[in-house]
Amino acid sequence: MRPVWPFNGVNKHRNGKDNHHSTSDACPDFLCVGAQKSGTSWLYRQLEPHPDFWMPPVKELHYFDELSRIPAVASARPRDDRDRGFLERIKRLSAQPHLDLESYARLFEPKEPLLSGDITPAYSMLSDEIIERIVHRFPNLKVIFLARDPVERAWSQLSMGVRLRNITPFDVSDVDDVIRNLMNPGVLLRSHPSKIVARWKRHVRPELFRIFFFDDLEKNPAELRSSVLLFLGADPSKPSGRLKANHNGDSSRDKLRLTEKVRSQVAQFFEQELKTCAAELGGPAKRWPARYGFSLVILFIQLLDDFDLLFWCDWIT
């Protein structure tokens, strides 16, 4: 991820104000910004055949996180001329040396009156500058974040990395070896959902930002599907083709064995984040620390101390 991008495509009026009107009314209705290994593939598979949506023929566009990166279109299966046109446009767009928000918006012209969006988990690592630009250009954009227990999420990412040979195989019983891999920025930056959520919420209006939980996908996928569709403005009573809500195309893939000893050490590595998620994300995240024997009492005492200190400072002022 690059901290600063060259930008293009936002015209200025002579009075200095930004002109957000594009030659087309097309734009994405939503972004799903992660988290990786937290149900984003499940979400794409549920939306792609749903009659209220036209989804791009590639799940992850990666337009905002990697400049001049051509998406993995070779594996895409275009369904019609709209899909083929989309793939050609995004290849041309990704070859540009600058970020062009107007041309990005026009990628979604094929949706016509339907809903559409960009599901790219790597957007969880975007900088404040990029997020601000996106939200400034698309002020009504809805943003979804699928949150998962950091211990489980990180281990799932390590399993995928080894399986895809993006990570060198390591001794999963060696705590030092495991921690070394957790310190990989590509793993570490994705494993702090409280920071990701805080960054996006600084720019997205509260009514347009929604957290959903992987815990609910495991517990009641039909209810989660309904909640997501309602938030996006779609009809949950309409089926996603023949696909059931509990369909999991990744369930049969190999995963690294996680022993109790290593699990405990990984939990200690993420202890503070687990507690912060419980306090700030709420919902199922409230139960994450207890899975590993952590108490929230100390965290709440610390928070109260911070609050008292701030109150005292205000009183003195």
Q: How many residues does the chain have?
A: 317
Kindly compute the dihedral angle of the four CA atoms of residues 205, 11, 60, 196, in this order, to the nearest 10 degrees.
-40
Q: Using an 8 Å Cβ cutoff, are 283 and 213 in contact?
A: yes
With both helix axes pointing from N to C terminus, report the angle between 175-182 and 150-163 in degrees, rounded to the nearest 10: 90
Q: Residue 111 and residue 25: Cα distance in Å, rounded?
A: 11
Provide the b/e sequence for 185-210 (b: ≥16 CB within 10 Å).
eebeebbbbbebbebbbebbeeebbb
The answer to whether residue 23 scores a pLDDT higher than 50 is no
Residues 127-182: pLDDT tens digits? 999 999 999 999 999 999 999 999 999 999 999 999 999 999 999 999 999 999 99
In this structure, whether the domain defined by 7-150+192-254 belongs to CATH 3.40.50.10070 is answered with no
Q: Residue 218 and residue 211: Cα distance in Å, rounded?
A: 16
Domain locations in the chain as residue ranges: 7-150+192-254
- Name which of 73, 74, 67, 112 is nearest 93 in CA terms: 67
Question: ∠98-198-192 over CA atoms, to 5°?
Answer: 90
Say how far residue 136 (Cα) sits from the centre of its chain: 19
Q: Residue 33 and residue 119: Cα distance in Å, rounded?
A: 6
Q: Residue 71 and residue 132: Cα distance in Å, rounded?
A: 23
Band the pLDDT of 95: cuts 50, 70, 90. confident
Q: What does DSSP assign to residue 18?
A: E
Residues 214-247: pLDDT tens digits? 999 999 999 999 999 999 999 999 999 988 998 8
Instruction: Please spell the DSSP secondary structure of 288-306, one letter per residue.
Output: TGGGGT--SHHHHHHHHHH
pLDDT at 67: 66
More confident position, 7 or 34: 34
- What residues does 211 pair with on adjacent strands? 145
Q: Residue 38 and residue 149: Cα distance in Å, rounded?
A: 9
**Residue 70 Ramachandran class (φ > 0 left, ψ -120 to 50 alpha, else beta):** beta
Amino acid identity, residue 279? A
| Span 52-61, average pLDDT | 95
pTM of the model: 0.84
- Name which of 99, 47, 90 is nearest 71 in CA terms: 90
| Span 2-20, average pLDDT | 38
- Name which of 144, 155, 147, 139 is nearest 257 in CA terms: 155
- Name which of 64, 246, 35, 60 is nearest 157 in CA terms: 35
Residues 104-136: pLDDT tens digits? 999 999 999 999 999 999 999 999 999 999 999
Burial of 248: CB neighbours in 10 Å, binned 0-12, 13-18, 19+: middle
- Name which of 104, 132, 137, 128 is nearest 118 in CA terms: 104
Q: Compute the chain's Rg from CA coordinates.
A: 21
Q: Using an 8 Å Cβ cutoff, are 213 and 148 in contact?
A: yes
Q: What does DSSP assign to residue 93?
A: H
